[in-house]
Structure 1
Amino acid sequence: MTVLLAAAACVGFAALIAGATGFGAALVATPLMLLVGVGVTEAVVINLFVGLATRVAAAYQLRAHMDVRRVLLLGGAAIPTAWLGALTVSMMPEDVLKPAVGALTILCGIAMALPSRREPVAPSTGATLAVGALGGYLSTTTSVNGPPPVLLLSRAKVAPMTFIADLAGYFVIANLASLALLAHYGDLSLSGTGPMLGACLAVALVANQVGIAIAQRLPVALFRAGVVTMVVASGAITIAVAA
């Protein structure tokens, strides 16, 4: 019971952060859950289901702000590369992939923090497809699939609610693809995780709504600073977990 409550608290905190910034739930929750005694397999399964549930809720709530065409391009491009990523994992050790992705993520955060000298423009179709494909590949190789679309949307300076809505739509598609691939390859197991998963889902859905409410009240500059901080932190966490 103690581990269950601790896991729910970890997931709730991560969902609050994700609600306020649009991403980062699994990156925040995973190391915290492992720290309080949740197994690796249980943490992965819980994060995937919680991430899907909270992003579906956010996508529905913010659907009026969503650029549906951009979400479909990002998500559609992620599906085939997620499969390629699943194949890569069987050929390349994870301890090589994760530090490299962590370093790349930190560079993405730095790029986002740099001032842009041009007026923001909507991302091109080609750039959107490329970013979606990269995110899909990273999803199944390292589970760090947020930074590419975050960088794309950040450099375009889309409004905060559109930022969160588009990411939510993208994560719904990416998480469904990841769950399908895990189920196909036999790496998805709900054995023994039922009560903990139920508690984490309930807490996460409430915390995610609180996070979205916070985001709606944040000044744009503060919202963007929080997103940059989360990107850099996610890169550092990825490197630390792989060490």
Structure 2
Amino acid sequence: MIRRILAGAFIALVLGGPVAAGLFDIEPSAHGTPFANGNEAGFLGTEHLGRSVGAAVLVGGQSLVVTAIIVGSLTTVFGTLLGILGALRPKLGFFIEAVADVTILVPAVILLLLTAVLYPNGGLPLLISVSVAVGTPYAARVVAAATYPVASAGYVQAAQGSGATTVSIIFRDIIPNISAVLRSVWSLRIIEALYVLATASFLGVGRSLGEFAWSAMVRDNASGISLNPWSVLAPAAALAATSIAVVALINGRQKEPKDVPSS
């Protein structure tokens, strides 16, 4: 419980970073000496343009994390529906597995770079669409693997035999029994989206995430790491800490799923 509270507080701080920066009266736009260390220029020093690293880290995480949550949530929803339908309908399941196999072989960042070249003005909608399209088949395959044992259970077959609708079977008989797997898929899809978007921003594709996106800060400040290491270490640590917090907040303490027979 304490771990989840701490993780939730950290995620809340990231999402409310711009507000927190205002409360502490620190602005990333204020210019000073580039790469001044913390002893010379306040909390965490300054970055390559002389702006506050601490303020930039607080401000830069919101867009990146919110976008990752959107991508991870959409991927999980689409992957769950496709995965369960694939388990209930073997022909569709075979197609989903084939698409997932092909998708896994193609790095998501390569597709982001390709689509960014073809559609340079796509912006944030393009990043979200490509990330969801790439992640959904893999999520569907994981969900399908968890659904097969449940789909073959007696109460599911009885529900099918009694004429229950597919929607009813999905939401009443299957999802409650794979909820632990779905939470894990959701957290992993958010983390995967977080790193894909961060990589895109690092490579200059994700400009719509903002100039203070953590990965963009790592790229821009790498040349001054010897002068002010915090200009690189702080955003990198924030990215890693966010990944850990997402897993701790969503998964928590896992419990063994129990069969919920249909009435």
Q: Which has the higher helix share?
A: 1
TM tier relative to shorter chain: 0.3 to 0.5
Ranked by relative contact order (alpha carbons within 8 Å, sequence separation 6 or more), the top structure is: 1
- Per the normalisation by structure 2, the TM-score is 0.33
- Per the normalisation by structure 1, the TM-score is 0.35
